[in-house]
A and B are shown apart, each in its own frame.
Chain A
Amino acid sequence: MSMLVIAVVLTALLFDFTNGFHDTANAMATSIATGALRPRVAVLLAGVLNLLGAFLSVQVALTISSGLVDEARITPQVIFGGLVGAILWNLLTWLVGLPSSSSHALFGGLIGATWVFAGSGAIHFSTVVGKVLVPLALSPIVAGLAALGATAVAYRITARSGRRGVTRGFRAAQVVSASMVALAHGTNDAQKTMGVITLTLITVGLLPAHAAPPLWVVVLCGLAIAAGTATGGWRIIRTLGHRISDIESTQGFAAETASTAVILSSAHLGFALSTTQVTTGAVLGSAAGRPRSTVRWRVAAEMVVAWLLTLPAAAALGALAGWAASAGTAGPVLVAVVLAVLAGVIYRISRRRPVTAATVNDAQPVPAVATPAHAAA
C-alpha cells in the first residue's frame, strides 16, 4: 500500500471523525434539550452506539464504492481532493452551528473532484439521482410528516394524563429513542467513509471492482465516527435542540422515532441519505405537530439554505482540492498543508465563543413565530 493510499485512508477517517462530531446533534440534541440525558452522558452513549451501528450493514458502502463514479477513471488523488473539500465544508458549517449534511459534503466533494479530473462522463448521474439525490430530497419530508403525525397523536393520547407523569415517561423513552438514532447514524454514516476507502482500494487494484468493505475498514470507520461523536458538536446540538423550537420530551421522542425509522429503512435498501436532514425534518415536524407550538422559521430557513448550498459548495471545494492534489507529487502535500492551516484557523475562531457541555443548554434569544396550523389555538 503506497503512502498516498495511506494518506487517503487517514483523510477519510478524519472526515469520518468530523462527520461524527458534526452529527452528534442528530441523535442527542433533543434528549439533551429536554433533560432526558446529561450532555456528557449523551455524547458518550452516542459514540458507543455509533460504533455498534457501523457493523449492522454495508449496503450504503456498496452504493458509494460501486456506483457514484467510474472507479477506473479516477485516482487516489481525486478522492483525497474530494475528502478535503468535504472536511472543509463540515468544519465551516460546524463553526456557524449549521446542521448541514455531511453526506452532501462528501458526495459534493467527490463529484466535484471527479468532474475536474475525469470529466462529467466519469460520474454515474443515474445512480447519483436515484440512490442519493431523490432519497435526500424525500427523506426530510417523510421524517417531518411522520414526526408531525406521531407528535399530534401522542399529545392527543396523553392529553388527560398529568403532564409531570407524561414528561417523565417520555424522557425515559427518549433514552431508548435517542440511542436508536445513534445506532442508525452509525449504520448510515460510517458506511459512507467505508465506501470511500473501499473505492480508493479498488482504484489502486488492492480490491476487485464491486468489492464489499474489508473488516479492518469497517472497524476503523466505526471507531473514527464513534470518537468524533463522543467529542460532541455542541454548537450544532444547541441549534437543533433549542433554536428551532422549544422541544418537549413527547416531541423529542416522536422526532427521534421518526428519524430512526427513516434512516434504518433507507440504509437497509442502500439509499445514502443525510441523517442531518432527516433529523432536522423530524424536529421541525414534531415542533409543528405540538398544539400551541412555536417554530422559529427563520432558523429553519437558514438551514434549508445551507442544505441547498452544501452540495455545490463542497463540489467546488472538492474540485479545487482535487485539481491541486492531481498536480504532481507536491500537489497532495500542498492540499494537506492548506487543509491543516484552514482547520487550525477555524478552530481558533471557534474558541472565541466556545460552546461546551456546560453551556449547550443556554438558549439563544431568537424570535419565534407560531406555526400557522396552531396560531389561533
Chain B
Amino acid sequence: MIDWGSLLIVQLVSIGSTLAVVVLVSLAVLGLSAHGRSPVTTSARHVAGPSARSGRTLGAISLVLAAAIVLFGLWAIVAR
C-alpha cells in the first residue's frame, strides 16, 4: 500500500527546506561579501547593495536562521 500522505510530506519538506536554506545562505553570502563593495550602476537605475555593516548583520541573521532549520531537522530525526 502506498502511503501518499507521507510521500507528500517528504516532497513538501524537501522542497521547502531546500529553498529556505539556500535562500538564507545566499542572503548571507550577499551580505557578507558586501564589505568594501562599490554600488553597482546599471544603465536603467542606480542599484546600491547593502553597506558593510548592514551586510554583516543580514549575513549573520541569515546564517543563524539557516543553521536553526538544519538543527531542527536533525533534532526531529534523532528525537523519534
Chain A interface residues (CB < 8 Å from chain B): 56-57, 59, 126, 129-131, 134-135, 138-139, 142-143, 145-147, 149-151, 153-154, 157-158, 160-162, 165-166, 168-170, 173, 180, 187, 250, 253-254, 257-258, 261-262, 264-269, 271
| Inter-subunit contact B1/A146 (CB<8 Å) | no
| Inter-subunit contact B49/A160 (CB<8 Å) | yes
Of B9, B22, B23, B47, the residue contacting A265 (CB under 8 A) is: B9
Chain B residues whose C-beta falls within 8 Å of the C-beta of A154 in the assembled complex = 22-23, 25-26
A-B contact pairs, 7 of them (CB 8 A): A134-B2, A135-B7, A146-B15, A149-B19, A154-B22, A166-B33, A261-B73
Q: Could you tell me the distance in whole angstroms from the C-beta of A131 to the nearest C-beta in chain B?
A: 8
Those 10 A-B pairs whose CB atoms lie nearest each other, nearest first: A165-B33, A169-B29, A150-B22, A157-B26, A146-B18, A130-B2, A261-B14, A154-B26, A262-B14, A258-B18
Chain B residues whose C-beta falls within 8 Å of the C-beta of A158 in the assembled complex = 26, 29-30, 33
> Given contacts A157-B30, A165-B29, is CB(A142)–CB(B14) below 8 Å?
yes
Having A56-B78, A149-B18, one finds 6 other A-B pairs with CB under 8 Å, namely A142-B15, A161-B29, A254-B22, A262-B10, A264-B74, A265-B10
Quick one: CB contact mask for B57-76 with A, threshold 8 Å, 1 for yes?
00000000000001001101
| Inter-subunit contact A153/B23 (CB<8 Å) | yes
> Given contacts A160-B40, A267-B77, is CB(A143)–CB(B14) below 8 Å?
yes
Of A135, A162, A165, A173, the residue contacting B25 (CB under 8 A) is: A173
Size of the chain B interface, CB-CB below 8 angstroms: 37
Complex Cα–Cα for A253 and B18 (A): 10
> Given contacts A130-B3, A169-B33, is CB(A138)–CB(B23) below 8 Å?
no
Tell me the B40-65 residues at the A interface (CB within 8 Å).
40, 47, 49
If over half of B's interface residues share one DSSP class (helix, strand or loop), that class is named, otherwise mixed; here it is helix
Quick one: closest B residue to A286, CB to CB? Answer: B22
Chain B residues whose C-beta falls within 8 Å of the C-beta of A271 in the assembled complex = 6-7, 10
> Given contacts A153-B22, A269-B10, is CB(A173)–CB(B15) below 8 Å?
no
Q: Could you tell me the distance in whole angstroms from the C-beta of A31 to the nearest C-beta in chain B?
A: 15
> Given contacts A130-B2, A147-B18, A153-B23, is CB(A173)–CB(B10) below 8 Å?
no
Number of A-B residue pairs with CB-CB distance less than 8 Å in the complex they form? 127
Chain A residues whose C-beta falls within 8 Å of the C-beta of B47 in the assembled complex = 160
Complex Cα–Cα for A262 and B10 (A): 7
Chain B residues whose C-beta falls within 8 Å of the C-beta of A261 in the assembled complex = 13-15, 17-18, 21, 73
| Inter-subunit contact A153/B26 (CB<8 Å) | yes
Complex Cα–Cα for A359 and B63 (A): 35
> Given contacts A157-B23, A257-B22, is CB(A134)–CB(B7) below 8 Å?
yes
- Most chain B beta-carbon neighbours within 10 Å: one of A150, A250, A265, A271: A265
Chain A residues whose C-beta falls within 8 Å of the C-beta of B49 in the assembled complex = 160-161
Chain B residues whose C-beta falls within 8 Å of the C-beta of A267 in the assembled complex = 77
Chain A residues whose C-beta falls within 8 Å of the C-beta of B17 in the assembled complex = 261, 265
Complex Cα–Cα for A262 and B12 (A): 10
Chain B residues whose C-beta falls within 8 Å of the C-beta of A126 in the assembled complex = 1
Complex Cα–Cα for A268 and B14 (A): 12
Complex Cα–Cα for A138 and B11 (A): 9
Q: Could you tell me the distance in whole angstroms from the C-beta of A75 to the nearest C-beta in chain B?
A: 28
Quick one: closest B residue to A59, CB to CB? Answer: B80
Chain B residues whose C-beta falls within 8 Å of the C-beta of A142 in the assembled complex = 10-11, 14-15
Complex Cα–Cα for A153 and B25 (A): 11
> Given contacts A153-B26, A157-B23, is CB(A264)–CB(B77) below 8 Å?
yes
Quick one: closest B residue to A129, CB to CB? Answer: B2
- Most chain A beta-carbon neighbours within 10 Å: one of B15, B29, B49, B73: B29
Quick one: closest A residue to B59, CB to CB? Answer: A169
- Most chain A beta-carbon neighbours within 10 Å: one of B7, B18, B74: B18
Quick one: closest A residue to B76, CB to CB? Answer: A268
